[in-house]
Structure 1
C-alpha cells in the first residue's frame, strides 16, 4: 500500500531519461554501451585493450614491448595479482543512472546495476576465457570498495555494499565486507595525479582475507587509482588474488 501510494504521488521515472513508467526504460538500456571483454584492457578495464591503452601506458609500470609476439599487450599473463573488467562505458544514460543512485538515493537502481555487472562477468568468462576465465566462478567471495564515513552520513547508505549484496546473492557467492575507507571528500572533481595521491593508504582491511580469491566491486573506474589502492591493501593482507569488476569505465 505504501509503495502504491508513493507511485501515485511520485510515479517512477527512468533514471536515464526521466520518462515515466520504468526505473530504466528499454530505450536507455539499448543506449548503454557494453564493453567487449575480448578487446578490453585487463589492467584497467578500458574498452580498447588490443594494444596497451593510454592509461596503462602512462602510468610507467608496464611496457607494451614486453609482450611476446601474438599476445595482447594487456594479456592475463601480465596480471598476476588480478584483472579488471568494466561492464559499460561511462556515457549515454550511464552517468545519469550513477548519479540517480549515488547522489539522489534511488536505491532501487542497485538491482539493475548488479544485474548488468553480473551479466558482464558471466559473458567475459564465456567469451574470453583466456583473458577473464575464473573472474567470477573461481572467486571465493565478493567484496566491494566502501564509502567513507562522511559519504555514508551524507547519503544514508553505502551504494556499493547494496550492489555487492544483490550481486553476491544472484551469483550465489558470500559477501565479505573486508575494507574500511579512511579520509573524506569526493574524488570526482580530482585529476589523475590527485586521485592517485589521495588513494594511497586510504583502505584498511578489517576482515580475514588470507589465501582468498576475491572479486572486488566498484561503481565507476576513472583512472583506476581507487581499484589499485583497494586491491593493494587486500593483497598486502594476504589475499591470493583480487580481480575487479566495475559498473562503468570513463573513457
Structure 2
C-alpha cells in the first residue's frame, strides 16, 4: 500500500494552511482527508520487479516481455534497466491526471515516494538482476515537458517530482534534456509514439562518463524513455537506468 505524509515541517505548515482554505480530498474517490486515501492506495497494482521486463518495465515480462524479445527490438539497448512502480490503471491513472492536468502539485511528493519505494523494492527482491539499479547514479535526469505543456500547466511536472525524489535518494538533479514541441503522445498509437519521440530530445548539459537515472511519470510503449536514453548515451553517458511511476499494460 502506498500512503505518504508531507516530508518536511514546511510542507506540513503549508498543507495545514491550505487545508483550512480548501479541505483535501482523495484524487481518486473524493473521500476527504488525504490526497490518496488508504482504500484507494490499497487498490494500486504494484509491479513485482521479480517478474518485470528489464527493458521496458512491463509487469509480466520476467527477463524480457514478448515485445522486447521481437527482432525489431533486439538492437535497441539504450537503457541498462527499466522499472515502473505500478500498473497504469484505475487509481494511478487518476493520480497522474490530477497531477498533470488537474494542477494538484502536492502529488509530486507522493509520486516521488512511490518511485523511492520501487527502487528499494527492486534492490531487496532482485539486487543482482537490477545491477545496483539507481543506487550508483551520479544524477537524476527527468523527461522534460514541451514548452507548450509547460505554458498550459504552469510547471514541469517531472522536474517537480525529480526534486522531491532527489531529496529522498540523496542524488542531485541534472536538468540535462530539452524537448522540441511535438503533439501529445496520449493521442497516438504505438507507431505514432515511436515516430513522435524519435529525435525529439536534445542533451543540454555535460553527461559524459556519468551514470544516470532517467525518470518519467508513465511508460506506454517505451518510446520516450528509449529516445531520451539514446541521446544521453550518444552524449557520453555510460549507464542509464529508467524509472517510471506507472506502466501501461
Tell me the TM-score normalized by structure 2.
0.90
**CA distance in 2 between partners of 1:59 and 1:2 (Å):** 52
> Of 20, 29, 37, which residue of structure 2 is paired with 1:17?
29
| Structure-2 change in CA distance of 1:32 and 1:155 (3 Å) | same
Map 1:1-251 to 2 at 5 A: 6-50=18-62, 52-58=64-70, 60-62=72-74, 81-251=79-249
| Structure-2 change in CA distance of 1:244 and 1:183 (3 Å) | same
Gaps of 5+ in 2: 1-12
Matched positions, count? 237
The alpha carbon displacement at 1:2 in A equals 7.8
Contact 2:54 2:64 in 1 (8 A): no
Contact 1:14 1:24 in 2 (8 A): yes
Which portions of structure 1, spanning 4 or more consecutive aligned residues, are displaced by more than 4 angstroms?
Answer: 1-6, 78-81
Contact 2:138 2:172 in 1 (8 A): yes
- For the residue of structure 2 that corresponds to 1:173, the secondary structure is coil
**CA distance in 2 between partners of 1:50 and 1:59 (Å):** 18
**CA distance in 1 between partners of 2:172 and 2:244 (Å):** 18
Query: Could you say which residue in structure 1 is the equivalent of 2:7?
Result: none
- For the residue of structure 1 that corresponds to 2:72, the secondary structure is coil
Contact 2:79 2:242 in 1 (8 A): no
**CA distance in 2 between partners of 1:158 and 1:116 (Å):** 18
Deviations 1:36-81 (A, max 9, x none): 1111000000001226423324561239xxxxxxxxxxxxxx9684
User: Root-mean-square deviation (CA), in Å?
Assistant: 1.9
| Structure-2 change in CA distance of 1:237 and 1:173 (3 Å) | same
**CA distance in 2 between partners of 1:3 and 1:177 (Å):** 28
